[in-house]
Structure 1
């Protein structure tokens, strides 16, 4: 009788073990991307360090510090149209618009390219990465004020400004993401709205100082540096990680085998290829239509002011209706507005156009990083994911404005420029929608 009991016990254990090892039913879809399944399961960070507070004084101070970074960095980058217009008639008058555009595109390219490294560096060394980058950024602005030659502008305003921005921007995104979960898109929208405020302050101040004062270029830029310095000081003390430093990979190559991440990378490339056109060429286009230079520089302030609402409101909607949904719709809307550039032919039309392009393109700034955050459920990998995505997009940022400059130089008008950039944004929107079809939620789901 002992043998049957043993056999029965073995059968029960086998049956129990088999049932516990059954694969999930076909309709039980995991919310995690495939790349997370192929890697080692991360520890439950909520159990180790508690859930993200999703609010409270400490979390919002972190968000405010990150907003100061974007006020200083993207605020100045978004003002490059004013610089381009001034350089073309002063220090760099012997250079073509596409050659001058390389300065601004190099800044943005390095800013995004080295973001792929700064994210993991922040994971390893914490806020020291931000502090070093903040000092370098103030130094870059001050050195730009001393530039006279093309290569000097390329080194100071192009390389050093871009490198310093990269060291602080992606880590700012990563640290804010550690403090917010359900309200992450709204928090990131608030953070990048700092660039809109900076984009209002800097173009107006810079345009006024350069074109309608006796300060000259050097002191005009140095005053910008004095505005930036206290912002950088505040972010050095306010941005502290909630999670401890850890050894992390600079690149997660398996991420490029995951359809969602790969689709967002391709979409981001197209979007970034076209969305910077108004920031670089709107003032020049306005002056070609007879607008005063100072007033034309104010158009960038209007663009960035409108994009404040275009960044915060879609961020809130993204938490409710899906990050990819808002990102895709924003890309399509931006493409349509960019295509309409040459339809604005007078002051009133240009002001209205600046408002619309600000509203639509502002959506893309906050939605881009929020979309990459859907590729992982491990908050400690967010900096790496965002950095990798933006690093690929940096190539588009590098070549987009100069290509537009070449089109402007060759055809002598802005129609071809708007067609190229608008079609690129539309292509990005369609790729985002196609990417949604690879997710369990499908094309019409909330993702």
Structure 2
């Protein structure tokens, strides 16, 4: 093996892998199937797989399932994208102590070099080759379960090489990535329903009737069974508790630690998925105590995450609240605005947004739900984005078109300093609009701590 002193870093390797294909995203299964065959099919040597697709809520539902499983002492692998601060976050490996951790630098470099050597310069996207690397790492580390999040879409996503998952989950579907998945909600739903498999149960979150019809048609076509929110299970808040009902069983649970009314649906879907999974695989059956602990201890960064300490909250001062959310499409705008409204009902404070968005996102659709809710919006660029973001000037103009006061700022620190200079008093500040911006914010927090 090459000496660790002479081996390239993961950043260098990832940069090299980016050059193997002219496009960042080019949905296809052929290239990754070719590479996996050369690697000896690591995708066929995995623990039971839960495959998760959808527009919003994938990460939260993955986080809940991980938390439930770890509370029960299960060893859990997790695959998510994109990362927030470091690529390593995408590949989370089960540890012998029962706690999963992001892959370490040496292990990441090792699997990247191995897939690079086997690929031998052939055409493949970075996501496809790094997904193959993740499968290699997962196949070589013991675990009880792999939570596998789709990168984009589902039908042609590199993760869809898994032909026999233990369970599939489809989270709420809305308009996003239309340039890649199709211009209508039905086309997008058909792409995401592509993860459904013959004989495999699919747990379906709340969907519009139009989307649900597409999912049900796809399930009939492939022979997949469905467990559907509102038909086969339900979840709701009652007297400060989360109630999940499935058939004759009713679970009275604590509210989830993740903030927002939309998390009731996400948590309920995760609970239903855990129950179905336990019926299919007895070794993964969870008791109610593990689910309770998991709901209380779940963590998922940049999803209505309160930043209560560190350099960025310090800019605003002790009276201000600082929140972070990576939501970036109109449906996310709706649920974030709803969450802010709920916070305002409990503790009224003037609300300010710091917003940066990628250029292909529907900025007007995302911002419109905040009209009448926020005092002002400060728009910022997104450093290090791998695609062109909206300029802060254009984004500010879009916010003004949506009927809100907006000013462009040079960066996040400038925006927070501007808010801090406003008249003293309690303030509620939310940084939002992009996972890439959220990652930049978390990096600023880490660099100065």
Q: TM-score, normalised by structure 1?
A: 0.22
TM-score (norm 2): 0.22
Q: Which is richer in strand?
A: 2
Structure with a larger share of its residues in helix: 1
